[in-house]
Structure formats: C-alpha cells, structure tokens
Amino acid sequence: MTAMAHEPLTQEEVLLEGFLALDTPEGFRAELVEGEIVVTPPPDGDHEHYISRIVRQTIKWSRTEMDFSGNKGLKLKKAEGCPKDHVIPDGTLAPAALQLYRGADSWMPCQGVALVLEVTSTKPRADREVKRRCYARAAIPFYLLVDRDISEITLLSDPKQDDYRRRCTVPFGKPLTLPEPFAFDLDTSDFL
C-alpha cells in the first residue's frame, strides 16, 4: 500500500497555522490582520480608563441590555489573498439575550456582536484604518474608536464591503449619541 501524497499547504494556511501556534508573553496579544501578525503589549492605565467609562455607561444607560467582553478573539471575513482575520478588539458589546460569549471558543465568529470598541495605543493607524476595514467587512454594525492622539471619539456605522458609510466624530468632552440598540448619549467629559 502506498502512502497518499498530501496537498501542499497554501501560504495562507501556513501563515494561519503559524499564527495559531504562537506563544505570546503574558499580557501581550497577537492578532492576524489582513495577512500580518501584529503583537501588542499590555495596555496602559489611560487606555483602560476609557474602556471602563464606556462600559459603565453602556450597562447603565443602554436601552438594550448588553454583555461586554474585553479582549475577545473574533474570526472575521478575510481580505483578498489573506487568511481569515483573527482580531482582538479592546471590547465587544452584544445583546445579553443572545448569550453570545457563553461557551464560545477563544476565537469566535462575530455574528451578533453589536459594537466593537478600540482605544488607540502604540499603533493608532491599525485602529483607524486596518481594523476599521476588518470590522466593516465582517458587517459589525458599529465601530467605536477612542482616538487618544487627537482627543476624539468616533462612531462608525452602516458597514458596506471594506468600510463604514457613516461617521460621527466629537472631541473629548462632548456627548456622542449612540443609536439603537443603545439609544443614549455617551458622556465623554471624563476623557479630558
């Protein structure tokens, strides 16, 4: 009996296998974004402060009860010629009724996620451009970007293909209206 020859792995498959086998240092996180492996260090205190303020208000004021997950791995649609994106947003919000996070693997599909949250850190271009395309391709309804470098917060909505068609930006200190299913004004005065 002769052994059957295995099909050689594609470049995409090799990259995905290598990424999934990574052993990052404690506190660091690795993502596979548009065919590139990105490793980021643990966040600083200000980064976490913004997330805390947004989550606290969402839980208190959102019209729809929301579940929050920090640093939850999402498998997203792939960019052409790349393996499926594996992105870890700073936070995700999903309607609590979906129980989306219960029993989910480390890398879960993004169906049901209502909003992804990113706070700029060491590579702000990735948050402003690359991740924006990833989330839009995945049809995640809302992308909330806290841009610390320019002291603004932006809500992107209405995803189509590789981008969002609507954008609402306010400077830190001004309220930002979050539409349904949230339906409240996010207070950013504590961001200053």
What pLDDT does 20 receive? 87
Does residue 154 contact residue 145 with C-beta atoms inside 8 Å?
Answer: yes
d(CA 33, CA 134): 8
Q: How would you label 12-28 residue by residue, b for 16+ Cβ within 10 Å and e otherwise?
A: eeebbeeeeeeeeeeee
| Three-state SS at 180 | coil
- Shortest CA distance to 123 belongs to which of 35, 40, 47, 31? 40
Tell me which residues of the chain have a pLDDT lower than 70.
1-5
The pTM (predicted TM-score) of the whole model is 0.89
What pLDDT does 15 receive? 86
Tell me the per-residue pLDDT of 62-109, one tens digit each, with 9 for 90 and over.
999 999 999 899 999 877 877 788 999 999 999 999 999 999 999 999
Domains of the chain with CATH codes: 43-191 (3.90.1570.10)
